[in-house]
Chain A
Amino acid sequence: MQRTAYPCGRVAAPFASRREWLRRAGCGFGAVAASALLAGWAKGESVQAAGMDQTNPLAPKPTHFAPKVKRVVYLYMDGGPSQVDTWDPKPLLSKENGQPFKMKIEPTQFNNIGNTLGSPWKFQQYGESGIPVSELFPNIAKHVDKLAVVRSMASNFPEHTNANYFLHTGSGLQGRPSMGAWMGYGLGSECEDLPGFIVLNGGLIPPGGLDCFNSGFLPATYQGSVFNAGDYPLANIRPLERDPAIQRKKLDLLAAIDKGTVQSRGANDEVDAAISNYELAFRMQSSVPELARLDGESEATKTMYGLDSKNPHTAIFARNCLLTRRLLERGVRFIELTCPSIGHDRWDQHGNLKQGHEDNARAVDQPIGGLLTDLQQRGMLEETLIVWSGEFGRTPFAQGSDGRDHNPFGFSLWMCGGGIKGGTIYGATDEYGYKVVENRTEIHDLHATMLHLLGMDHERLTFRYSGRDMRLTDVHGKLIKGILS
């Protein structure tokens, strides 16, 4: 059989397929997006000329449409908080507490199925909306009229590592770009001397590791930077010279020789960018430690967040919540907070639910409450999106006698901030809180909604990789319209 010498042999032929037509009708989907962008520009939408900067990958870029928020805070509740003990009260569980579970049970991770387990915590209605909140979160409860509680989230994975990748990257497999990387790629950075995607490490890096925060096939520019506690939170931020003046002399000599190179070899965008990176890096050496110094914050603010808490885990998370506000002020695009290590386990209470969830909740409740209050007082909440979620929920029946196993079939999360309809409950699980029965939402929908609020159409935010225009939402995702204002 004759082999076509090159696939291009067919290119000159009439449109062979719909795909080909799209490709040739103005260089494909990318061009469709670009022309839509330019049309938006002409209409005076939120497109800025700065977004046309081709040389700096971190320059702010035009959005697809007017954004509701500029920045995102992801409060990552690692391990899978139990929906029926937090945001989705189920009185029937208490009524049938100790009895065999009456629904058909899917296999669980440990398959150590116990009886129906009522929540050890009471729920109370708060605010004008009257959304019930468990007594685990007395501080967040005060903000309930700002929250949209989604009770109908489902994940595709019942195990931490895959579920973490799925939540963070839209794929259960390792190696895809994290949502923060996608947002940096789509929007660029508003911040000159800090990375656009920062992970504030409370002590627990989720199972799956740092690849929950990587840039995958996107350029390394967009990878998440992990900030640890301490005076030098970012890697390589601390000069090794015994005196800062020596480093300055080095950089001056470097700049002089590099300048000569550019003169003799000719200018080049990449080399120019690499040279200017040194000045930025130099500034980061002082701006990052300055950011981590909290002496300028009032005692009242620190107390509101819980920095003076006697519970060391609360104090750690409080510091990271306060740092979050400081990062938001500096224009950092995507900030994710990981949980403090409370000494036994993340929100992953296969046993001893009561103590585990109480300790985890105590570490985060006051700091999150403080963050919401502070952002509102400073008028920053409206331009920020805050998401609180785990990677899945927990079973309404016991694992053993006093724990709960993983449950991807229905769990709760909440969102708050610009573009979010506060005081909303969206979707529902069955009367036991086991599976979604109304307005099912998926992780892809969460991603689509986050991008939407940032002014991006999740179907148009693409990156060509491996012959395909890849998306954070792959071929899925629909807006969760019911929570949008």
Chain B
Amino acid sequence: MLLGATLKQPGYESRGDKERAQGLEAALTAWREQVRDIPAPLYCLAMTEGTPEDEHVFIRGNHKSLGAVVPRRNLEALGFASAAEYAAAGGSGRLKLAEEIASAENPLTSRVIVNRLWHHLFGRGIVESVDNFGVLGTLPTHPELLDYLAREFTADSWSLKRMIKRMVLSHTYQLASTADAKSQAADPANQLFHVHNLRRLEGEALRDAMLAVSGDLDLTMYGPSIPVHLTPFMQGRGRPGSSGPVDGNRRRSVYLEVRRNFLNPMMLAFDTPAPFSAIGRRNVSNVPAQALILMNDPFVLEQAERWARRLLEIEEDAESRIGRIFFRAIGRGPTEEELARCLRFVAQDVRQIAGKSGDELEAWRDLAHVLFNLKEFVFLY
């Protein structure tokens, strides 16, 4: 920079060799080009060996009530290496600990993670207490299945993606949630997964579903997260100076910024966990605040409007358009009665009230908004 500025100084050439100055300038330009071509560094977290220490036992968990110093190691009761083996391995023991945890010989880790995946997809884990495989936890309903999946998982390079694929391609996953009376009587609590459990969409999935249905969803991967949209109800110390977009730039919810003290209200209402601790099983609450969001949140109405705009670009009669939006939102066509009601809604109800100012777009936007509020949209049947 200094060199560039010096070269630009008036009279520099007269003070020195003109050719030399030109040479310097050419070298500088070449250097600048080279620098520009160096890719920006990609940072990643890494672990390094620290200063190993042995800790006291905390009597009854109290860090002020110290028992004996215990050599560091994994849990011997579960069959892991002894303190002597850890000492022999040298260093802090962190590497050995990591290897023991992530070993195919250790069924605990793989069972826990495949059970979480199962819970996520089926609404209930094979071990229902997903965060507790200990004596206070619940028993697996299908122990052989759990072990089978755990073994497949480690044999398949611990690939979460392929394990998810395996599960969703299963017959069990593809069952509907409506049961016949006989199997219902035989397994009323659905311990055997004879039907699918009815599930409410999680906050992120619900938002993504609205974006997908409206045609707005941007499936771009990676990149910085989208700043959180701030409402007047999100106050407090450290509030960002500016708000993010209402539609989160149409990106999937996984790309929305999670700002610890300014969490997305829609996600909070739909039980997306607060980011303070690991949560294997989310709460599934059912509260008026959820209805208020789906009724009155600007994001929801905006998506309904964008969907309506796209619908109106296709020339078709009202009947087929209603069929289209039903299929797109809930994967089935309307019944005759539903069709009649929807036709009346777009042709008469909205326009009668809104008068002359009520237009085509408003009517279809309002119908689209109703679709987002259907229980068949919010729940997976």
Contact = CB atoms under 8 A, between A and B. Distances in A.
Interface string B315-347: 000000000000000000001011001100100
Contacts of B301: 240
Interface string B83-118: 000000000000000000000000100000000000
A207 B265 contact: no
B136 A23 contact: yes
Given A3-B78, A220-B270, A238-B296, A271 B379 contact: yes
A226 B135 contact: no
B192 interface: no
A261 B375 contact: yes
A171 to B, nearest CB: 10
B interface residue count range (under 10 / 10 to 19 / 20 to 34 / 35 or more): 35 or more
Contacts of B379: 270-271, 274
B197 to A, nearest CB: 10
A209 to B, nearest CB: 3
Interface stretch (B3-11, B46-54, B348-356): B348-356
A174 B135 contact: no
Contacts of A234: 233
Contacts of A6: 139-140, 143
A238 B301 CA distance: 13
B288 A280 contact: yes
B293 A175 contact: no
Contact of B237 (A207, A217, A246): A207
B55 interface: no
A235 interface: yes
B118 to A, nearest CB: 16
B295 interface: yes
Given A11-B135, A246-B350, A281 B292 contact: yes
A6 B143 CA distance: 9
Contacts of A221: 285-287
B198 A240 contact: no
Contacts of B293: 236
Nearest to B198: A268
Contacts of A86: none
B286 A270 contact: yes
Contacts of B376: 257, 261
Interface string A230-255: 00001111111111011101110110
Interface of B: 78-79, 107, 129, 131-137, 139-140, 143, 177-178, 198, 200, 231-238, 260-263, 265, 268-271, 274, 276-277, 279, 283-293, 295-298, 301, 335, 337-338, 341-342, 345, 349-350, 353-354, 366-367, 369-370, 373-376, 378-379, 381
Interface of A: 1-3, 5-8, 10-11, 16, 19-20, 23, 57-58, 173-175, 195, 201, 205-211, 214, 216-221, 223, 225-226, 228, 234-243, 245-247, 249-251, 253-254, 256-258, 260-262, 265-266, 268, 270-271, 273-275, 277-278, 280-282, 284-285, 466-467
